[in-house]
């Protein structure tokens, strides 16, 4: 079937080529013949018209119309003449050869007093004429019209085309027979090659090729190109067979190595903690981390664990190099970090001891950069030390991302007896700390642009949710968008610690009784101690809350009516937040309360208003709203920044 298909395709192509030649040749011939015949027809008509115009002027002057009519009838017998008619100067027919009358199509044809005018007419589909008009005595004697029959011109052109077409067809048939024989000599070996190629595509190269002898037979009896191609097929089959055997051996070895690398990856990933939330017993802190090696295994590491009831330890590191050597060094480093951190050492001493341990027997001269932190979840106090690592970002809603201060230190494992430095700061409730490796900051797009810390800072400043998991996942998604489908250049690790504060907002329900002031004072004192408020802030809080509570109880309720109040206290993002709500009548103490002149004496000042005035002075922002049948008063005061920020 393939042999027949190739043969008939070649034959069909040859036929189409000859058909194109036939159409073009016949068309050009017909066009040339038609042009010549048309020119002869027009010249003959011109001669007849001019002859009649010259000989009929005297007859018209003498009004010898019978002689003129006889002249027209005699001219009608000439070959190719279809009609003749004579008009006067106004275009009215005088004599004609039409039966019974002059057709309307020829009346009003264009004429010229200065020469001959040629016009094509079509009375019907098979009655096409060429009208030739000539003036008689410059148009004074009228005009003679001679109609030449174009159908004879077309018929002559078609006869000529038929003769030429028949000759070309005869030549085509003879040529096709020669081409068929030639094509068969070419297609037979090609068909054999095609069958061999098809068999080759399904052949199991672990066995001998069944078409080898058939291919070898084409080499001596085929044309040079076909023989060379057959020989190439044989060589290709031999080389593929050798390559397949080698590939099977290589694939088996590669699959064995990949299997071992997958096991190594599972072992490596089992070293880093992946259980989240991590510290269920410590509601003051939340943590999330991820590690994505650029290969099957990588050299990044992270770890976190609880040292005691108040302290957690966290570390992020990056081993020099990639692949299996970096993964082994990473495992050693992480094991040493966990073992050393539980000995109760300060971070500077811990880093120095880790460095000396990693320098021992380090013949490969590998090193690791580390950033370690210890967080007191009760106070928010953070201690950190840097071993040549990227500086973490402190995230907060009240200001943009800020990198931690740089402390003295270098990569661990590079040189012995290196001194390390520690730094401290106090994290406020609502803040988060992002530790990461340079796989994020040095990620690059297809244009080889680095992601960089500036892009990272801009992205982090736009994050409204500082919970650990959203921060990590959004950051990694942003890096993937920046890479635009490019390969991951380095291992990527990110760890976020969110400090939620001792216990979140403090809520205290109250009733509208002055006896609640003692319990209220105890709540305020405990809150100030838990959040380490200064004496001045604690006093301002005490004065403002007691004044607002007293106003609500004294002026908001009718005598004998029991009401409910609720106090909410919180420290978030460097601000002290106070909200007191009650179900008393609508009353805004900041507008409806008595005005007070703090400079006036007691006799002139009047009763009330001083506490509200002091509240205005002590707090930065005050707001009153009436919402869902309750009065809500909100106070906001900026706290002085803690040391280390």
What one-character-per-residue DSSP string does 509-545 give?
EEES-TTHHHHHHHHHHHHHHHTT--HHHHHHHHHHH
**pLDDT the model gives residue 125:** 72
Please state, rounded to an integer, the average pLDDT across all residues of the chain: 83
How much is the pLDDT for 358? 93
Residue 59 has pLDDT above 90, yes or no: no
Read off the pLDDT of each residue in 76-83 and give the average, rounded to a whole number: 88
What is the structure's pLDDT at 55? 84
pLDDT at 37 over 60: yes
> Residue 603 gets which letter from DSSP?
H
Q: What's the CATH code, domain 506-638?
A: 3.30.565.10
Average pLDDT over residues 384-396: 95
Distance CA 624, CA 633 (A): 5
- Where exactly are the structural domains of the chain? 2-158, 273-499, 506-638
316, 369 in Cβ contact below 8 A? no
Q: Out of 3.40.30.10, 3.40.190.10, 3.30.450.20, 3.40.605.10, which CATH number does the structure's domain 2-158 have?
A: 3.30.450.20
- CA-to-CA dists, residue 289 to 50, 386, 472, 617, angstroms: 109, 19, 7, 45
Select the more confidently predicted residue: 358 or 204. Answer: 358
Confidence of residue 606 (pLDDT cuts 50, 70, 90): very low
pTM: 0.49
Across the range 355-363, mean pLDDT stands at: 90
Distance separating alpha carbons of residues 589 and 622, to the nearest angstrom? 11
User: Given this model, what pLDDT does residue 598 score?
Assistant: 53
Question: CA–CA distance from 378 to each of 400, 426, 429 (Å)?
Answer: 25, 11, 11
Assign 438 a pLDDT band (cuts: 50, 70, 90): very high
% residues pLDDT > 90 (the chain)? 33
**Judging by beta carbons within 10 Å of its beta carbon (0-12, 13-18, 19+), is residue 250 exposed, middle or buried?**
exposed
Question: pLDDT confidence of 225, banded at 50, 70, 90?
Answer: low
Looking at the predicted structure, is the pLDDT value of residue 249 above 80? no
Which CATH architecture fits 273-499? 4-Layer Sandwich (3.60)
pLDDT (0 to 100) of residue 262: 63
Task: Please give the pLDDT value at position 433.
Answer: 96
Taking residue 560's Cβ as centre, other Cβ atoms within 10 Å add up to 5
Please give the radius of gyration of the chain, using alpha carbons only, rounded to the nearest integer: 54
Select from 312, 443, 308, 467 the least CA-distant residue to 374: 312
* First-to-final CA distance of the chain: 85
For residue 313, the model assigns a pLDDT of: 96
């Amino acid at each position: 079937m393939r042999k027949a298909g190739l043969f008939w395709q070649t034959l069909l192509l040859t036929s189409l080529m000859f058909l194109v030649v036939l159409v073009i040749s016949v068309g050009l011939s017909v066009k040339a013949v038609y042009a010549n015949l048309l020119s002869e027809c027009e010249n003959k008509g011109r001669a007849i018209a001019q002859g009649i115009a010259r000989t009929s002027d005297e007859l018209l002057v003498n009004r010898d119309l019978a002689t003129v009519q006889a002249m027209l009838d005699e001219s009608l017998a000439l070959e190719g003449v279809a009609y003749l008619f004579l008009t006067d100067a106004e275009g009215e027919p005088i004599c004609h050869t039409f039966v019974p009358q002059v057709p309307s199509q020829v009346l009003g044809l264009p004429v010229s007093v200065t020469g001959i005018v040629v016009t094509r007419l079509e009375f019907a589909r098979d009655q096409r004429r060429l009208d030739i008009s000539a003036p008689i005595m410059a148009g004074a004697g009228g005009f003679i019209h001679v109609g030449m029959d174009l159908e004879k011109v077309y018929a002559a052109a078609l006869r000529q085309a038929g003769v030429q077409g028949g000759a070309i067809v005869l030549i085509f048939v003879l040529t096709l027979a020669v081409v068929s024989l030639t094509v068969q000599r070419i297609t037979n070996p090609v068909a054999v090659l095609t069958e061999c190629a098809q068999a080759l595509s399904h052949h199991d190269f672990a066995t001998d090729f069944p078409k080898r002898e058939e291919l070898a037979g084409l080499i001596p009896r085929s044309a040079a190109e076909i023989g060379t191609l057959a020989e190439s097929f044989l060589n290709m089959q031999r080389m593929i067979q050798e390559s397949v055997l080698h590939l099977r051996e290589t694939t088996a070895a590669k699959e064995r190595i990949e299997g071992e690398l997958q096991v190594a990856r599972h072992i490596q990933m089992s070293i880093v903690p992946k259980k989240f939330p991590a510290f269920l017993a410590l509601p003051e802190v939340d943590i999330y981390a991820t590690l994505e090696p650029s290969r099957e295994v990588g050299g990044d590491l992270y770890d976190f664990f609880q040292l005691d009831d108040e302290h957690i330890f966290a570390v992020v590191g990056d081993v020099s190099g990639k692949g299996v050597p970096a993964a082994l060094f990473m495992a050693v480093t992480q094991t040493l970090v966990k073992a050393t951190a539980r000995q109760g050492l300060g971070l500077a001493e811990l880093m120095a001891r880790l460095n000396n341990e990693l320098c021992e027997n380090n013949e490969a001269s590998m090193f690791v950069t580390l950033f370690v932190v210890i967080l007191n979840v009760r106070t928010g106090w953070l201690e950190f030390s840097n071993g040549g690592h990227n500086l973490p970002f402190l995230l907060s809603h009240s200001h943009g991302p800020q990198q931690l201060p740089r402390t003295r230190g270098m990569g661990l494992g590079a040189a012995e007896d290196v001194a390390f430095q520690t730094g401290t700061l106090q994290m406020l409730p609502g803040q988060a700390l992002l530790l990461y490796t340079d796989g994020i900051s040095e990620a690059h797009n297809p244009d080889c642009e680095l992601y960089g810390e500036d892009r990272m800072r801009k992205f982090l400043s736009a994050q409204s949710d500082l919970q650990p998991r959203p921060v990590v996942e959004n950051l990694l998604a942003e890096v993937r968008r920046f890479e635009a489908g490019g390969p991951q250049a380095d291992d990527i690790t990110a760890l976020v610690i969110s400090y939620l504060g001792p216990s979140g907002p403090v809520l205290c329900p109250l009733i509208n009784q002055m006896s609640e002031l003692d319990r209220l004072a105890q709540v305020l004192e405990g809150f100030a101690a838990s959040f380490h408020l200064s004496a001045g802030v604690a006093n301002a809080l005490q004065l403002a809350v007691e004044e607002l509570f007293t106003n609500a109880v004294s002026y908001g309720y009718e005598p004998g009516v029991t009401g409910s109040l609720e106090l909410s206290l919180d420290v978030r993002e460097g601000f002290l937040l106070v909200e007191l709500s009650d179900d008393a009548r609508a009353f805004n103490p900041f507008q409806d309360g008595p005005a007070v002149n703090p400079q006036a004496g007691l006799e002139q000042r009047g009763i009330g208003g001083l506490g509200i005035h002091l509240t205005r002075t002590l707090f930065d922002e005050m707001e009153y709203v009436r919402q869902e049948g309750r009065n809500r008063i909100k106070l906001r005061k900026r706290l002085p920044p803690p040391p280390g920020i």
